[in-house]
Amino acid sequence: MNFLDRHAYDWGARFARFIFPLFRRRRRIAIENIIKAGITDDPKEAARIASVSWGHLAGHVCEALRVPHVVTKENWREHLEFDEASPKAVKLLLETPDTPILLVSAHHGVWEAATNVLSFARPMIAIARVMNNKFVANWMKKHHFRGPVTVIDKQHGFTPDIMRQWEDDCAAMTILMDQHTSKGMPLTFLGRPAKTFTSATRLAMRTGRPIVVGSFVRVAPFKYRLVGGDPLVFPKDADRATCTQLLNDRLGEAIRQYPEQYLWAHRRWR
């Protein structure tokens, strides 16, 4: 690991925290979200968490861009820790390559870096917002996401081709559930009312495929820890609202463990 790799996160995080006061609206949103979610009732502590989490976003992105240079097919397991994860979830995620799975997470921890690292264990399909700029999108595909990682524009949904690819490749379909939607189901997230996408629940109920819910959090340079419980399987006749709320609650538990690595500044609750 060279000098640039060792300090990529620190440089990004420090610069972002330095300029964070300039983003007054985002700073206000983050502090309000932290207090209303019950992470702390102290405005000064909420401001500190907001600043650290904003820095973490930039630091994580900078480090994620260096993951392909540091993490290899030979050493990728050395970059993952599982002491806070369900053994069943670890086995399903890393040691059951013949089973398609759903991986449900949030804007928490190191979602970008984890996608790269996990691609050494199994093919990954990430539902995300594709960059509008074709140059940036092509650069990201060539230099950032390497290996069997397919990024799907969330606007296109689960097309028949994607479903076939998921099943044929036994991939991990990765979905970030904490994005704002005006058309979702009225549930709660971190104890607050929040309309929630039900796509992960519907897909799990329709296919019977297991769901791993949780986050990979950063514990050291290029060292990531899985936080989460046992895998979930939803029967076809399950109650969609109850199942989706369970996903929200699982994500909330992980965020409360590591609140400084959650993106509080985004407008999850509108």
- Give the DSSP per-residue string, 90-127: HHHHHH-TTS-EEEEE-SBS-HHHHHHHHTTTS-EEEE
Rounded-to-integer distance, Cα 250 and Cα 254, Å? 7
Q: Quick count: other Cβ atoms within 10 Å of Cβ 43?
A: 12
The secondary structure of residue 71, as a DSSP letter, is -
Predicted local distance difference test score (pLDDT) of residue 68: 87
pTM of the model: 0.90
Q: What is the mean pLDDT of each run of 10 residues along the chain (270 residues)?
A: 90 97 96 97 98 96 91 94 93 92 95 88 79 49 58 73 92 90 91 94 96 96 95 96 97 97 91
Q: What 3-state class would DSSP assign to 212?
A: strand
CA distances (Å), origin 219, targets 86, 160, 258: 18, 38, 10
Residue of 254, 209, 247, 244 lying closest to 85 (CA atoms): 254
Structure tokens at 11: 């440089």
End-to-end CA distance of the chain: 42
CB neighbourhood size of 264 (10 A) = 27
Predicted pLDDT of residue 235: 96
The answer to whether the CB of 246 falls within 8 A of the CB of 238 is: no
Residue found under tokens 């019950």: 38
Per-domain boundaries in the chain: 3-261
- Cα gap 230→172, rounded to integer Å: 16
- Residue 139: predicted pLDDT: 46
User: Tell me, what's the pLDDT at 270?
Assistant: 79
Q: For residue 56, what pLDDT is reported?
A: 97
H/E element holding 167? helix 160-169
